[in-house]
Amino acid sequence: MADQAYTSSTLVVPDLNKVPRHIAIIMDGNGRWARKRFLPRMAGHARGVEAVRGTIRAAIERGVEYLTLFAFSSENWRRPAEEVSFLMQLFIKSLQKEVSRLHENGIRFRVIGDRSRFEPVLVRAIEAAEELTAKNTRLHLTIAANYGGRWDVLSALNRVLARQPGAARIDEESINAELSMNFAPEPDLFIRTGGEQRISNFLLWQLAYTEFFFTDALWPDFDGKALDQAIVSYQERERRFGRTSEQLVALAGGEVERHA
């Protein structure tokens, strides 16, 4: 269950002048970054870890509260075995190397996704990192690994059904409470690097009203400046959630009820 209940972002209008509270990123383009340099794809993944470090630092400096990074999709097992195994080893090594630094910086670390296919050593490293950082609140850093949006929704539905056998209907709140991001508000801003414009089975349910930003920058080249571009683009938008512009002006003036 959620530590804290969040109202669906489709019901509350966030203040756009602010930095997005929750940013979710599909970190794509590592392979192409390497290929451009005549390097093996693995070199791109290794540089991708550097970009993760820089992005976490920038997110903290900008005051982002939740940063969710897609590191490995449930479909990525289809890649050559050698690459999959390299990515898993990189995950283990990065965790072991970075966890104390994450903790010192007040970062709460979580992993979402199906852990059942991970090696025990990786599962233990994840659990240790989650435990160590459990009380931190400066930035909620979530890594999506062996994650799929459909898996997330289906797992949530199955948990709801298990708790209410024979239930005639399931409501949105009970699904929200069982989703793997139940601790966070829905993403305000979604970023995908690497030029593709698709969701690739990332947070399907939670992206219902998220603002999208696509950039051709390849993930290893992503940095604080690139993050700022995405944030500026976000701040230029009008999030209407089905309302009219005029209603939003009235909302800002406090003349209309913010909810409903």
Q: Which of 37, 4, 30 is nearest to 181 (CA)?
A: 4
Q: Does 46 bind ligand IPE (CB under 6 A)?
A: no
- The span from the CA of 114 to the CA of 152, in Å, is 9
Evaluated on CA atoms 142, 146, 152, 156, the torsion sign reads negative
Strand order in the sheet with 139-147: 107-112, 139-147, 66-73, 22-26, 189-192, 211-214
Helix 41-62 to helix 224-235 angle, to the nearest 10 degrees?
60
Paired with 144 in beta bridges are: 70, 112
Cβ neighbours of residue 260 closer than 8 Å, sequence gap 6 or more: 11
Q: Which does 147 bind (CB under 5 to 8 A by kind): Mg ion, ligand IPE, none?
A: none
Per partner kind, with CB cut-offs from 5 to 8 A, the member of ligand IPE, Mg ion, none near residue 198 is ligand IPE
Nearer to Mg ion, 28 or 98 (CB): 28
Binding of residue 30 to ligand IPE (CB under 6 A): yes
Single out the segment in contact with ligand IPE by CB under 6 A; choices: 24-32, 159-167, 207-215, 231-239.
24-32
Could you tell me the smallest distance in angstroms from the CB atom of residue 70 to Mg ion?
A: 10
Q: Does residue 200 bind ligand IPE (CB under 6 A)?
A: yes
Active site residue 216: no
Residue 3: active-site member? no
Crossing angle for the helix pair 41-62 and 81-104, nearest 10 degrees?
Answer: 30
> 17, 28, 136, 188: which one is catalytic?
28
Which option in ligand IPE, Mg ion, none does residue 70 bind, with CB closer than 5 to 8 A by kind? Answer: ligand IPE
Footprint of ligand IPE (CB under 6 A):
26-32, 70-73, 75-76, 87, 194, 196, 198, 200, 219
- Active-site residues, by number, are 28, 76
